[in-house]
Structure 1
Amino acid sequence: MNARENYLEAIRFGSPHWVPLGCEPLWHTLQFEGIFRCGDWTDAWGVRWEVGIEGTVPFPRGNPLADLARLREYGFPDPDEPVFTGRMVEELAGVDRAEKLVIGSLTYLLFERAWAVMGMERFLTALVTHPEAVHEFLRGIADYARRVFDRYLALGVDGVSFSEDLGTQRALMVSPAMFREFLLPEYAHCFQNVLAAGKIVHFHSCGCVDAARTR
């Protein structure tokens, strides 16, 4: 059983020969540029990220959409930027697909992307005070993610992966009702084509997320 077969056996709840282990410090994935970097920088969404403690991931220090009233003025990044595809095709050419899985990475997906762009407190408040605008904002983010995933599918990836921390130590950061209203439909939108193609959706979330389960 090679590494690819072993990983697939593990995620299908079979009998892998060893426990697959990810080594995040290597960041050896297809990385959609403009989305994540371990350093001080401003991403494609206009968010300023800074590393406060050496060896940790950066934290958002600037929120380009502090007011949802300016949503129509906010410029979402272009998921069709052509340079990414060219670089990824070159990387894929050197991968033995019989031995290795190829997973397309997006890092922050929906909830994490929304609060990074708006600010955590402002985003959570807007769920109550401006629900229609939040729906529109989240659909814009989901449209972006869906298009990125479509591009990965066109490259022939085995699946997609991203970060979407939803929980604290005890519960979701939003109520289960809000999760179902605001986030769940957008996840379905994001993953529709990936799942239809029979590919892997590697959904990473830290925290206690039991209440997010729908069945």
Structure 2
Amino acid sequence: MKPKARFLKAARRQEPDRVPIFATLTPQVAQKLGEIMGLPSQPVDAFLSDRLSYTEILLALGNDAVAIGPGRDRSKPTKRLPNGHLIDEWGIQFREVGYYTEAVVRPLSEVESIADLNAYEFPEPLAPGRFEVAEKMVKKYGNDYAIIGILEVTMFELAWILVGLEKFLVDLLWQKPYVEALIDRILDFHITVGRKLIELGAEVILLGDDFGTQRGMLISPALYRQVFKPRQKKIIDALKAVNKEIIIAYHSCGSIMPIIEDLIEVGVEVLNPIQPQAAGMDLAFLKEKYGNQLAFFGGVDVQGVLPQGTPEEVKEEVKLRIKQAGKGGGFILAPTHNIQPDTPVENILAMYEAAKDYGTYPLKI
């Protein structure tokens, strides 16, 4: 079975020849693997670069799908400022801290009104150059691999990234008029981008906003239902109008048990990443409770086992997750985040090997 068919069957809650695999990498891991494998590790310049980069490495490892998404406006590439900060087309300035970058200047940090919001220039969703890489990826890999259109940070996360988390949450609670107007502007951007990705050949769209913490929801379920749930339905309906067969996946880190049924109601078909150390996110329980409505995409612990375990412990982790969610199909094995810089190469290889060893149908575990 081709990787494309394998991935799409699992996403549709059917049983393929084996459990499909999909992982993403941090730049440090990609560089290490690229040197070992003799493959390029240059990242794509995009807002969600780690989700869209290192395709050749990931396919060589064993991924069954290729991620595409919006790149930068060709006329507004990410630049390095004299103070060493990076600035992107959204006007967000980042500084490099250890392995990662942190936002230090937010373009809407002083927004108070719709007039302030209107003074901010949003990027153009169909700007020249934005889909150059996506088009090349579909042309090169679309016949053999499933194509996932990445639209994470769909509204909530991008809104607070532009404003600042504390201010945005306070203003959200106070119902300042600019808040929902900002969310709608971001949503319109992503609806346009999502439609384009589907037109290019995406078969799965991965939406997402991190509504969970390790222990529970970042905002109340009531506030989520009031502000975000109707807008989730709006974007999903808009995407389904382009292609009714498009598969809608949804990413939220953390503990989001209170809103899983809401996600199902608005049209989510695949849930990612099922973070095992987050409260209530037990993969076996979720499969039992929601397996007739959702496929599950993730499950492999990146907080403990993958970076800190032995290769044998990683294999046992993979075996456990397949046993918990693989029965009858509807499971895509993946780490619960980008593979982090402290992860040994041998553990990455062990994860892919174990998926093939234990994931062949009919399952024998």
1:195 matched residue in structure 2: 240
How far residue 155 of structure 1 moved from its aligned partner, in angstroms, is: 1.3
Q: What secondary structure sits across from 1:168 in the alignment?
A: coil
How far residue 139 of structure 1 moved from its aligned partner, in angstroms, is: 0.5
2:8 matched residue in structure 1: 8
How far residue 3 of structure 1 moved from its aligned partner, in angstroms, is: 1.1
2:112 matched residue in structure 1: 68
| Paired amino acid for 1:68 | E
2:74 aligned with 1:31, yes or no? no
5+ residue gaps, structure 2: 31-52, 56-66, 266-365
Relative distance call for 1:44 and 1:202 in structure 2 (3 A) is farther
> Percent sequence identity over matched residues?
25
How far residue 94 of structure 1 moved from its aligned partner, in angstroms, is: 1.7
Partner Cα distance (1:71, 1:113) in 2:
14
1:94 matched residue in structure 2: 140
Conservation of the 8 A alpha-carbon contact between 1:10 and 1:16: yes
Conservation of the 8 A alpha-carbon contact between 2:92 and 2:162: yes
Conservation of the 8 A alpha-carbon contact between 1:48 and 1:62: yes
| Residue among 182, 193, 199 paired with 2:227 | 182
Relative distance call for 1:92 and 1:15 in structure 2 (3 A) is closer
Partner Cα distance (1:96, 1:156) in 2:
7
2:98 aligned with 1:53, yes or no? yes
Partner Cα distance (2:72, 2:154) in 1:
13
How far residue 87 of structure 1 moved from its aligned partner, in angstroms, is: 4.3
2:18 matched residue in structure 1: 18
How many residues are treated as equivalent by the alignment?
211
Q: CA RMSD, aligned part only?
A: 2.4
- TM-score (structure 1 length as normaliser): 0.86
Conservation of the 8 A alpha-carbon contact between 2:142 and 2:201: no
Q: Which deviates further from its counterpart, 113-122 or 4-13?
A: 4-13
Report the structure number with the largest CA radius of gyration: 2
5+ residue gaps, structure 1: none
Deviations 1:67-114 (A, max 9, x none): 2321121111110102223443333222242x2111222342211101
Conservation of the 8 A alpha-carbon contact between 1:172 and 1:212: no
- TM-score (structure 2 length as normaliser): 0.53
Conservation of the 8 A alpha-carbon contact between 1:50 and 1:59: yes
How far residue 162 of structure 1 moved from its aligned partner, in angstroms, is: 4.3
Partner Cα distance (1:90, 1:108) in 2:
24
